[in-house]
Structure 1
Amino acid sequence: MIRAVLFDMDGTLIDTEKYLTRFWRQAAREHGVEMTVEDSCMLRSFASRYASRWFAERFGEEADYWGIRKRRKELMSRHLKEHGVEKKPFVDETLKALKEAGYLLAVVTATDEERTRQYLTETGIIEWFDRLVCATMVERGKPYPDVYEYACRQVGCKPQECLAVEDAPNGLRSALGAGCNVVMVPDLTGAGEELEEKIDGELKNLRDLPGFLERMA
């Protein structure tokens, strides 16, 4: 029986992944590194300490991952300050329906706590959540299972009593590794053949989530 729903944030609740990938490429270009869209997508929900290793393997040790990351954050912050944070479709009605149905709700994100609170407050949805869990609170971030294992403990549920809602492969791997039930709502890319066989389902949008949970029950 599912008691808690654990949501990824970027690309799942808020529509920021398209900007993250855009500004990764822009910041990299400013530093003389040419990233493809596929490269930038690889960094979604990827904890920085592990992303830096991947970056060095992909672009060479001389590529300044930390400098590029800092510049990407500057570009991203400027854009969101000017244009605001957008919610993904059907967020409000989905959270309302799940809360009324009695589910515990949590955010499980690779974003730090300060920005997580900022984004959720700006979009007006922070009050729906019983817990906010950030990768900075654990030893290893996504794609490792630590953050979801910690989230399960925070909501007081066993992993098999939790459904993780993710939009990117690194998040799927993290939730699966923790033993959670997992559903994907794709944003920029799908799960990929390997992960499609392991997750519990793929939804077109968040509006389908309450019905999916009913079918699971």
Structure 2
Amino acid sequence: MTECVIFDMDGVLFDSERLYARAWRQLGAALGLQDIDNAIKYCVGRNGGDIRAYLLSKYGEDFQAEQFALDLRKAFLDIVRAEGLPLKPGVVALLDWLRGRGCRLALATSSGKNSAAGNLEGAGLTKYFSAVVTGDMLVHGKPAPDIYLLACEKLGTPPQSCYAVEDSPNGVRSAHAAGLRTILVPDMVEITEEIEKLAYKKFDSLIEVKAYFEKNLI
């Protein structure tokens, strides 16, 4: 039996990528930034340090990347406070089923520690995860394999004994490079043939992921 399953957070557990995209567009429009949609596409799945470096390369060394990150987070939280942060369909049923079968679960998210903790606690999901690895714990974020290797280390499980559940190209590249069996559940970013080939399995929802595990995890 595979001993653990490691989940991404945004776009996998929470339907948050669309809210972040709205926050990006609101802030980008206010600042008169060009090519925001491509910036969003590039940054999905990356940690804060990588995003700030990208913004400086795209909009110039004088761009206030740190302030942009703070304002982006505020815009996102304003949306969440007004509308809530919805879970993806099937999240709780899948986590309950896996935990009931003795699987150890971990989170590997490019979001920061405070953001991840707040989201998990707010949704009542903290209890499911034996380990949480966040983007601010690492120098090299996704698509580098470091975050998944650290999650496996914290679980005491070799990558070959783990599944990863990811939604973005950067996440799939990261998990695949670390040696995990990567299940792709696409969210916002268009999936290329290259990324599909890296994925072990591809499903349209976590409901389908649960059905797969029910047949393949004994």
TM-score, normalised to structure 2's length? 0.92
Letter in 2 for 1:18: R
Checking the alignment, whether the CA contact within 8 Å between 2:6 and 2:165 is kept in structure 1 is: yes
Tell me the equivalent position of 2:201: 201
Structure 1 runs not aligned, ≥5 long: none
Cα distance between partner residues in 1 of 2:66 and 2:24: 11
Checking the alignment, whether the CA contact within 8 Å between 2:24 and 2:36 is kept in structure 1 is: no
Cα distance between partner residues in 1 of 2:187 and 2:71: 24
Tell me the equivalent position of 1:77: 77
Residues 27-106 of structure 1 aligned to structure 2 (within 5 Å): 27-106=27-106
Deviations 1:114-160, CA, capped at 9 Å, x for gaps? 12111111112221111111121222221211111100001111011
Checking the alignment, whether the CA contact within 8 Å between 1:113 and 1:134 is kept in structure 2 is: yes
Superposed structure 1 runs of 4+ greater than 6 Å apart: none
Cα distance between partner residues in 1 of 2:40 and 2:26: 10
Q: For residue 20 of structure 2, give the secondary structure of its aligned residue in structure 1.
A: helix
For these two proteins, the number of residue pairs brought into alignment is 217
Tell me the equivalent position of 2:142: 142
Checking the alignment, whether the CA contact within 8 Å between 1:133 and 1:147 is kept in structure 2 is: yes
Residue 64 of structure 1 deviates from its aligned partner by 3.2
Cα distance between partner residues in 2 of 1:174 and 1:147: 8
Residue 32 of structure 1 deviates from its aligned partner by 2.1
TM-score, normalised to structure 1's length? 0.92
Cα distance between partner residues in 1 of 2:191 and 2:111: 21
Residues 151-166 of structure 1 aligned to structure 2 (within 5 Å): 151-166=151-166
Letter in 2 for 1:13: L
Q: For residue 45 of structure 2, give the secondary structure of its aligned residue in structure 1.
A: coil
Cα distance between partner residues in 1 of 2:94 and 2:216: 16
Cα distance between partner residues in 2 of 1:196 and 1:9: 20
* Cα distance change on mapping 1:134 and 1:103 into 2, 3 Å: same
Percent of aligned positions that are identical: 29
Q: For residue 198 of structure 2, give the secondary structure of its aligned residue in structure 1.
A: coil
Q: For residue 141 of structure 1, give the secondary structure of its aligned residue in structure 2.
A: coil
Checking the alignment, whether the CA contact within 8 Å between 1:25 and 1:34 is kept in structure 2 is: no
